Amino acid sequence: MSATRVALITGSSQGLGLHIARQYAAHGLKLILTARSSPALQDAAHELASLTDVLALPGDVADETHRRKLVSAGLERFGRVDVLINNASELGPSPMPVLEQLSAEDFERILGVNLVAPLALAQLVLPSMRAHGDGLIVNVTSDAGVQAYATWGGYGSSKAGLEHLSRVLAAELEGSGVRVFVVDPGDMDTAMHRAAEPGVDLSHLPTPDIVAPAFVRLLDEPAPSGRFEAQRLVGVAA
């Protein structure tokens, strides 16, 4: 990849997304950041602007208008998008209900953020990646996408869908120079995890700053040999 890489990171106002942005800024990447919380996102952009060129646009990745505006503004500002980190996730109601009680409205919201938005954003940035003959798409997943945990059905099924979508996308992009990774960062002490398990002590778990350096290593990680498919990385804490 070029030394002037540009990364678009969703859910980048806090947690893992913010720490990935910090790592990328320290390694010279230009940043396109988005999150629903405008004040927190602006704070992140102000912090990172001392290290690199930052475009921050608050909004909901489940909103098609926001997605198009985000990518369009990024391409207008930087001329390219080399890296897409689909980090934004929707847990659903907290405490999480069993599937029997999960409303269609809540499930559609979960799927919109966790499954539809990552594909839609990939579709928007792929022309830029193809034009430069390289690119990196990272979809952040969870072990809830492969293990059946009671009450995690809405979130887990969205991540299972994201993982298979990633495998198909990678197969379709074979030979394009665009690499696709699915990353399960493992259990972390984050605001979303605390919402998933209210009242549970998570202080023994790694914090996102421990996990984020792995996303730097992905920048130059080669595609797997043989049949081209998304690589699933688990527990990537350094």
User: In the sheet where 54-56 sits, what is the strand order?
Assistant: 54-56, 30-34, 6-10, 83-86, 135-140, 178-184, 231-234
In terms of Cβ atoms closer than 10 Å to its own Cβ (0-12, 13-18, 19+), residue 147 is exposed
Pick left, alpha or beta for residue 15 (phi over 0 → left; psi -120 to 50 → alpha; otherwise beta): left
Candidates 198, 203, 165, 204; CA nearest to 181 is 165
Pick the catalytic residue from 24, 152, 155, 228.
Answer: 155
155 part of the active site: yes
Nearest Cα to Cα of residue 230 among 171, 157, 145: 171
Q: How far is CA 21 from the centre of its chain?
A: 11
Residue 94, C-beta contacts closer than 8 angstroms, at least 6 positions apart: 195, 196, 198
Is the Cβ–Cβ distance between 19 and 209 less than 8 Å? yes
Among 181, 171, 85, 75, CA closest to 132: 75
Beta bridge mates, 140: 183
Task: Please name every residue paired with 138 in a beta bridge, in sequence order, or none if there are none.
Answer: 85, 181
Q: Tokens in use for 232?
A: 């699933």
Residues with a known catalytic role: 155
